[in-house]
Amino acid sequence: MSMEDVTVSVTELERLRAENRELRTQLMQAQKLSSVGSLASSMTHEFNNILTTVINYAKMGLRHKDVGTREKAFDKILAAGHRASKITTGMLSYARAQGEPEDIAWAVYDHYQPMGLDDPLPRNLTGCAVALADKLDSLVACFAVGAVPTGSSDPFALRRAAQGIVKIILERKLPLSLSAAISAAGKALKENGPRIEANEAVQKQVLDFLLERARYTLRERRGFAYDEINAAFAAGADDLVDAVDRVAAVKAIRNMKNFVPLAASFKRIRNILEKSAAGIDKSQLVVQADLLWEPAERALYNTAQQIGGEATLKKKTKKYREALEAISGLRPAVDLFFDKVLVMVEDQNVRRNRVALLAGLLKEFSTIADFSELGGEEAK
């Protein structure tokens, strides 16, 4: 064997040893995560039982006025609180005894948080990740088997779980895709016990449920109007942090001089496209400059091209308010168009071209918020 062969063999041996060490490390991490996940699931079940006890006895205490019944209710609630305290203390002690890092210990201790809108979040990112995974697992599993909250009935506290997910994402400003997270939870349920199938319809139902909780938070806790939320969410809400930034931008500029009339014009555009031009396939339409016969439609086309480029640059850097301010500059050209131009003319080619112009406007300038949603009946 040559020295070159020996060198190659030694190098290969070192590589294999390094790979072995890496695999052993990954296995240990996987085992730790599995333990944390099992603990989290078990403790969540225990806490749900405790909360059910607290809620039921609180209701009993509120219904009955006699001192004896109320004292019994308070005793039960206090006992449940002591039980919860022992469980969380035990969890923390267990994690520390296993030699886990401090952040893992606190993650185990905090994973059930937040349980209400006013509760604190898990104190570190690891705890937030475990809390999100646990709550998503509960939501997707329950929806998959049909255990969906109805009216005042929510035996598995799914509204509270969804509210906790929203609170963690928004307050931690986590750039998390809700649809991807729900899909991951569904995949885990299918591949592991109890092997529940969460199809696309179920996942869509969970997403809508989470978005409704997000709407509630933004209305009741952050003071945004119903139509401001609708406008921004219509442009996409898979990333809640980004969606809230767009809601804030809409709120900031909605009372500008040009913006209110522009929102009314976009509502008019949508009505034309959905009603008068309903029979035209708009997906393949492209504006043909040579068919822009009227000066007002040429002016709108050119203005939209200019403002569209400016707004796109602002949007890419998430300067949503500045982008919307730029878009509000469309108002004079849009007003002139509707004053001078008839969309549904007899000439089919010209009609289709004008529909294409309006469809392009609606698509291009509704990626931050759908202005036609503003000023609805439920606006506050």
Q: What is the pLDDT of residues 75-109, one digit of tens each?
A: 777 777 767 766 666 666 666 656 667 777 777 77
| pLDDT number for residue 58 | 73
Last residue of a domain, one of 248, 274, 306: 248
Query: What pLDDT, on the 0 to 100 scale, is given for residue 27?
Result: 56
* CATH at 349: 1.10.730
Query: Helix axis angle, 125-144 relative to 178-191, nearest 10°?
Result: 70
Based on the fold, state whether residues 209 and 315 are members of the same structural domain.
no
Last residue of a domain, one of 209, 232, 248: 248
* Euclidean distance between CA atoms 11 and 14, whole angstroms: 5
Residue at 379 is within a domain: no
Q: What is the pLDDT of residue 90?
A: 66
Give the pLDDT of residue 227. 94
Is residue 184 included in any domain, yes or no?
Answer: yes
Whether residue 58 sits in one domain with residue 191: yes
**Per-residue pLDDT at 29:** 56
Same domain, 114 and 260: no
Determine the 3-state secondary structure of 302 from DSSP: helix
158 in any annotated domain? yes
Whether residue 264 lies inside any domain: the answer is: yes
Supply the pLDDT for residue 377.
42
Give me the domain span that covers residue 311: 256-373
32-36 contacts: CB < 8 A, separation 24 or more?
32/100, 32/104, 35/98, 36/104, 36/107, 36/108, 36/130
| Residue pointed to by tokens 């890092």 | 101
pLDDT of residue 295: 94
Number of domains in the chain: 2
Buried b (16+ CB within 10 A) or exposed e, 115-147: beeeeebbeeebbbbbbbbbbbbbbbbbbbeee
End-to-end CA distance of the chain: 85
Backbone φ, ψ for residue 189 (5° rounding): -65, -35
Token couple for 41 = 């699931």
pLDDT at 88: 67
Report d(CA 254, CA 277) in Å as an integer: 28
Which pLDDT does position 307 carry in this prediction? 93
| Tally: H helices and E strands in the chain | 14, 0
Is residue 296 helix, strand or coil?
helix
Task: Answer yes or no: do 366 and 301 share one domain.
Answer: yes
Do both 230 and 289 map to the same domain? no
For residues 327 and 302, membership in a common domain is answered with yes
Same domain as 216, residue 160: yes
> Which residues of the chain carry a pLDDT beneath 70?
1-10, 12-13, 15-16, 19-48, 51, 82, 85-100, 282, 376-380
- Looking at the fold, whether 156 and 205 belong to one and the same domain comes out as yes
Looking at residue 101, its pLDDT comes to 76
Look at residues 231, 248, 265 and tell me which one is the last residue of a structural domain.
Answer: 248
